[in-house]
Amino acid sequence: MHMTQSADTSRHLRRVVVTGAAGFIGSHLSRALLEAGTTVIGVDRRGQQHDPLAAANLDELTSFPNFIPLTADLMNCPLEPVLLDADAVFHLAALPGVRPSWGPTFDAYVAANIQTVQRIMDAALRLRVRRVVLASSSSVYGATDGSSSKETDRPGPLSPYAVTKLAAEQLCLAHANRPNAATSVMALRYFTVYGPCQRPDMLIHRVLTAALNQTPLQVFGDGLQQRDFTYVGDVVRATIAASLTPAANTVINVGAGSSTSLSDVLDIARRLTGRSVPVIPSRARAGDVPATLADITQAQELLGWKPEVSLAEGMERQLRRLQEAG
Ligand code: NAD
């Protein structure tokens, strides 16, 4: 019989730090933890006052008495008082997005995606925080032949963003492998995450708003690209499981394990909204990969996790939230 090391989800996280808590995935993760009774210190440099997206994401969290919001930049805030007494750190803060990582903003990517990891790991090890869970990305795989990517595949990042995410993984693991390190690491390679409050620059948000508002959708490349779209609620469950599993110091794919083409996404959007999606074709952009698909065997074995929400169901939830927001 195959022995698995799945997470004991009955174990309770008493107090955790979530970085990037005002972001798309960080706010969903924080909410799930708060609902489970965990005290969450939510760190983000975007505050409610000056950033409407952050305000929308933080709005529901601030009503929880066990939420401690902290508006701070991880590049320069003192981290030991933040991490003190935490059972785990979920390090999601980063500059996401492939396109803007080319050119002059690269320094900002290095700071947000690599240097913050160095600071977090340094403080976590000194304070003997048990586990750091890092948000990494499927982009580390680069171009594939369309078959599923396994964690043991050789990475081939095709954009500066992807290079920073691969560096972040390796940096975490290097710290965790230091002699006598009390902190262990799980680096999760998220595959295109979607759901309510998805970042406005991401495809499904753009498709649904184009359908709702009848504004043109710019489609890059030949439209044949395939993505493994992963529902944010499924990502949150995997992320919490990664903080509890006895398995450690490795990378794990978090994806739906199935791939969908852009034209199928457009079909679902048409069906859900009853409206067509006006499309403007544009040239492919550097760094975009033709296909992503996760092999999720490791996630099933080490986290006892599998995705539950279908793309049509998840897109419907995202659409409903957009309609509520007006
Ligand atoms: P997001 O932009 O919505 O959230 C990231 C948050 O991090 C932002 O609120 C930002 O203000 C914060 N942040 C960045 N630098 C910071 C700093 N120096 N100090 C404090 N806060 C800082 O992005 P997201 O889509 O929620 O992504 C979360 C994580 O998941 C990122 O690490 C991203 O690389 C990774 N990821 C996301 C996807 C996806 O499909 N959304 C896919 C793969 C990996």
How far, in Å, are 55, 100, 323 from residue 209 at the CA level?
20, 22, 9
On whether residue 99 sits in a domain, the answer given is yes
- What's the pLDDT score for residue 312? 98
CA of 274 to the centre of ligand 1 (A): 32
Q: State the catalytic residues.
A: 161
* Token couple for 117: 């990891």
CA of 92 to the centre of ligand 1 (A): 5
Distance (Å, rounded) from C-alpha 260 to C-alpha 292? 9
CA of 275 to the centre of ligand 1 (A): 31
Nearest atom within ligand 1 for CA of residue 91: 32
pLDDT surpasses 70 at 154: yes
pLDDT surpasses 60 at 237: yes
Any atom of ligand 1 within 6 Å of the Cβ of 119: no
- What's the pLDDT score for residue 282? 87
Q: Specify the residue with its C-alpha closest to ligand 1, atom 6.
A: 20
Q: Which residues of 253-286 are buried (b: 16+ CB within 10 A; e: fewer)?
A: bbbbbbbbebeebbebbeebbeeebebeeeeeee
On whether residue 313 sits in a domain, the answer given is no
DSSP 179: T
* Token couple for 212: 């709702």
Distance (Å, rounded) from C-alpha 111 to C-alpha 119? 10
- What's the pLDDT score for residue 6? 55
Distance (Å, rounded) from C-alpha 188 to C-alpha 293? 15
On whether residue 215 sits in a domain, the answer given is no
**Residue pLDDT, tens place only, 53-103:** 999 999 989 999 999 999 999 999 999 999 999 999 999 999 998 888 998
Place of tokens 């983000």: 44
On whether residue 45 sits in a domain, the answer given is yes
Any atom of ligand 1 within 6 Å of the Cβ of 91: no
On whether residue 203 sits in a domain, the answer given is no
What letter represents residue 212's amino acid? L
The number of CA neighbours under 13 Å toward the Cβ of 262 is 19
Q: Specify the residue with its C-alpha closest to ligand 1, atom 30.
A: 135
The number of CA neighbours under 13 Å toward the Cβ of 119 is 21
Distance (Å, rounded) from C-alpha 190 to C-alpha 195? 14
Number of domains in the chain: 1
On whether residue 234 sits in a domain, the answer given is yes
CATH code of residue 148: 3.40.50.720
Query: What average pLDDT does this structure show over 23-48?
Result: 97
On whether residue 173 sits in a domain, the answer given is yes
On whether residue 207 sits in a domain, the answer given is no
Q: Which residues contact 130 (CB under 8 A, 6 or more apart)?
A: 87, 88, 182, 183, 184
CA of 2 to the centre of ligand 1 (A): 36
- Could you tell me the residue range of the domain that residue 92 belongs to? 3-194+229-257+293-308
- What's the pLDDT score for residue 285? 78
Confidence bin at 1 (pLDDT 50/70/90): very low
Nearest atom within ligand 1 for CA of residue 26: 26
Any atom of ligand 1 within 6 Å of the Cβ of 255: no
DSSP 44: E
pLDDT surpasses 80 at 203: yes
